[in-house]
Amino acid sequence: MKFLKKIFKSEKGAAVTEYALLIALVAIAVIAAIILLREELIRVFTAIADALAGAP
């Protein structure tokens, strides 16, 4: 518990919190992009798998 208090009180803790929020935002954006492009991604990977299956 002291560790968490120390993080939130120090300037370094603020930077860590900002980086964590930024990483979370990027993760949400990537997940949203994957969800929106799901069908196209399935088509692309299916085409790749089919091409590899037909390769000698």
What DSSP string runs through 6-42? HHHHSHHHHHHHHHHHHHHHHHHHHHHHHHHTHHHHH
Tokens coding 8? 């939130």
pTM for this entry: 0.56
Kindly indicate the confidence band of residue 8, based on its pLDDT and cuts at 50, 70 and 90. Answer: low
- Compute the distance between CA of residue 54 and CA of residue 50 in angstroms, rounded to an integer: 6
**Model confidence pLDDT, tens digit, residues 14-31:** 678 888 899 999 999 999
Helix 2-9 vs helix 11-36: crossing angle, to nearest 10: 90
Q: Where are the domains of the chain?
A: 2-54
Q: What is the mean pLDDT of the chain?
A: 85
Residue 5 has pLDDT above 90, yes or no: no
